[in-house]
A and B are shown apart, each in its own frame.
Chain A
């Protein structure tokens, strides 16, 4: 089929012009072997790539397809493929499933099915025995979602590089998040993994609909000032003092733990309380010799490592009892009260015409807000990374139908429906992360403008919030490349970025 015809097919299936054009370009007979699609979040790169994947399998253009994605996105991929191409064979592989396949394999044969789409997390694929098994098989197409995670010297990148070397005829499609202020063209053009790929860039500035209108509306954050009460200020001051006093080392993990505690406190007192409770529990386990997490902990998971002891924590742990007692005596929540008046101003009603979405970095804050807001509003729901993909889909479908308030953690990968207003209950420290999150709801084909709100404490109780304000101010005055330089130089800010992505 010619490129023009393919484009028409995809447009008739409901894909936007830029999506149909890319799918046609990839599937055209004279297409390059390797493609790199760089896109601003929310423009549908995963959606388009899943369509390509389903298409090649159902149209006999590929037999074995391997899709590598971050763990949180694997089931979303499965859902996207099955919703558009129910006849395309597809399977998510984890350790148990692989053992079953290996148990059934005939001697000398590959455990992998000879046709269909295999989906797995990048982190599973990089495990030595899994990588070896993948390398012994011939794949017709390799798709890597969030390919910006294939940073040099990582096992993720090694397995992808070896797969490409092993199968010179294999086609490849890499998807990368592309935000101009964090991604420079030189990243890609000099990278041996991508330099020979045909590169397509989707950006909010260049993409237009068929009428020449911008596909993504401009978004500006409106600050909502509030003032923390004396007992809250006293607690936060005590927390900062305790953390300063226990800074035994300036190790990265110590900085991360301190940042997480302060960010939890900035998010909500409930998030702080629960983090302190978990830290205390971990400390008790250590004290009683129960040093092993029965569920197993990913060593890369900074969020959970904060609840584990570090060199400095034993001294900090002594302070947690006092901090928890102080928390017990704080009956008010000034930030939440400010939220209530904002919601009154916005005029939340239980109707599909008037939906409001709230973002937070923390599951604890999300569940707290769901509980607290349900006393004032009839339709309040929360989706967090703890829910299964099916549960998230159900919750979002109810939200679409009934309206009200949806509270989501920032790391959520679910597509949020169109809303009247978006509230960031807490903002990521790095404004670039905020921009990326905004891409979650400002998606192609939606009407603008969208109202976006965030809170700012006039009492300046937390140093981390003052820093956040300064970064936002800097963003307004600096050029994008200058801001990027500033952020790259500031290791603390960048580490925060990676942390906040794991919380939900």
Chain B
């Protein structure tokens, strides 16, 4: 192997790039994004058909690797108005179908860098619907308002679901027994975990794991059977799955996997079903 010649640039030995931890433009670009481009001579009808085909609102106009501009529904409508007004003023025939993207593009699109804060580009995206990433001679991606919305939803939704699950579990426990019974159950189920004088006896004093220890304990399961169904062990396993994902999320251990997200979502739905059923039973009893 011939290794003479080129200067050496050492690869950093960090496990992953630390910049990944920050929510920057690089994080917002969807991993599966495929860059579709058009050439300047493309007629607008073809470019519009392309936008419709891919469900895009804009497409970069390129020659080779050089970005000449950005064609979008917005730039198209702007130029159509402009050209038709000019045609009226000059009493000329306006031939819409002969327009090329070069005549209807934004010739100076904005370029964000992958290391930029995406918040800094909100105004541009608000105005132009998107921002290109990279530079005019090296297009790396494109960020739209929907990309940001999806990204933020991805980041936020596990937190929201965990909140729903925790509050729902508390509500179900409140439905299952009164304050005195809760205290008695806590003293049975949590006795190995806390000293008697430090024993949490109110739901808001307990951790999520304390809830699981009480609900999943065979000695007090009879209180919950009506709410959660016939199988204590499977109920506890579901709650422990939720706890494990919760700990990964709230302690920022790592990004959760797709499978974990789906398990969280399915278990959240299961909890919702149980709450609905419990509320219906409660209403029936009250009537």
Which residue numbers of A lie inside 8 Å of B, CB to CB? 56, 60-63, 78, 82, 86, 89-92, 94-97, 99-100, 102-103, 105, 107, 113-118, 129, 140-141, 169, 171, 269-270, 273-274, 277-278, 280-281, 284, 293-297, 304, 307, 327-331, 333, 336, 363-364, 367-368, 370-372, 375, 385-386, 388, 391
Contact for B115 among A103, A118, A277, A385, CB less than 8 A: A103
> 6 A–B contact pairs at CB < 8 A?
A91-B12, A115-B9, A118-B11, A171-B1, A295-B261, A327-B231
Interchain nearest-CB distance for A290 vs B (Å): 11
**Is B275 on the interface with A (CB-CB < 8 A)?**
no
The tally of CB-CB contacts under 8 A between chains A and B is 163
- B229–A115 contact, CB under 8 A? no
Residues of B within 8 A of A327 (CB): 231, 234
Q: Are A60 and B3 in contact (CB under 8 A)?
A: yes
B263 touches A274 (CB 8 A): yes
Are B259 and A281 neighbours in the complex by a CB distance under 8 Å?
no
Residue in A61, A91, A116, A293 whose beta carbon sits within 8 Å of that of B1 in the complex: A61
5 nearest A-B pairs in the assembled complex, by CB-CB distance: A328-B229, A116-B11, A89-B11, A371-B237, A277-B266
Stretch of B23-31, B83-91, B279-287 lying at the A interface: B23-31
Q: Are A102 and B269 in contact (CB under 8 A)?
A: no
In the complex, what residues of A have CB within 8 A of residue B115's CB?
Answer: 100, 103
Contact A294 B153 (CB under 8 A): yes
Residue B37 lies at the interface, judged by CB distance under 8 Å to chain A: no
Interface residues of B (CB under 8 A from A): 1-3, 6-13, 15-17, 19-20, 26-27, 29-32, 35, 113-115, 133-134, 137-138, 140-141, 150, 153-154, 157, 216, 218, 229-234, 236-238, 240-241, 244, 253-254, 257-263, 265-267, 269-270
Closest to A61 in B: B1
Considering the chains assembled together, what is the distance between the CA atoms of A332 and B153 in angstroms? 40
A-chain residues with CB within 8 Å of residue B13 when the two chains form the complex:
82, 86, 89-90
The reply to whether B10 and A281 form a contact with Cβ atoms under 8 Å apart is: no
**Distance (whole angstroms) from the CB of A363 to the closest CB of chain B:** 6
Which residues does chain B contribute within 8 Å of A99, judged by CB atoms?
A: 26, 29, 114, 133, 140-141
Q: In the complex, what distance in Å separates the CA atom of A204 from the CA atom of B137?
A: 55
Q: What residues of B have a CB within 8 angstroms of the CB of A277 in the complex?
A: 266-267, 269-270
Which A residue's beta carbon lies closest to that of B6?
A114
| Chain B positions within 8 Å of A330 at CB level | 230-231
- With a cutoff of 8 Å between Cβ atoms, the chain A residues found around residue B237 in the complex are 270, 367-368, 371-372
Task: Select one of A63, A100, A386 contacting B260, CB under 8 A.
Answer: A386
Cα separation A118 to B265 with both chains bound (whole Å): 36
Chain B residue numbers with a CB within 8 Å of A270 are: 234, 237
Q: Give 15 new A-B contacts, CB below 8 A, not counting A97-B17, A114-B6, A330-B231.
A: A89-B12, A91-B12, A96-B20, A99-B26, A103-B113, A114-B8, A140-B3, A270-B237, A277-B266, A280-B269, A304-B262, A328-B231, A368-B233, A371-B216, A372-B236
A296 touches B11 (CB 8 A): no
A115 in contact with B26 given A92-B16, A330-B231 (CB within 8 Å): no
Chain A residue with the shortest CB-CB distance to B239: A371
Given A91-B11, A99-B26, A171-B1, A304:B258 Cβ within 8 A = yes
For residue A278, which residues in chain B have a CB less than 8 angstroms away from its CB?
A: 262-263, 266
Point out the residues of chain A lying under 8 angstroms from B27, CB to CB.
Answer: 96
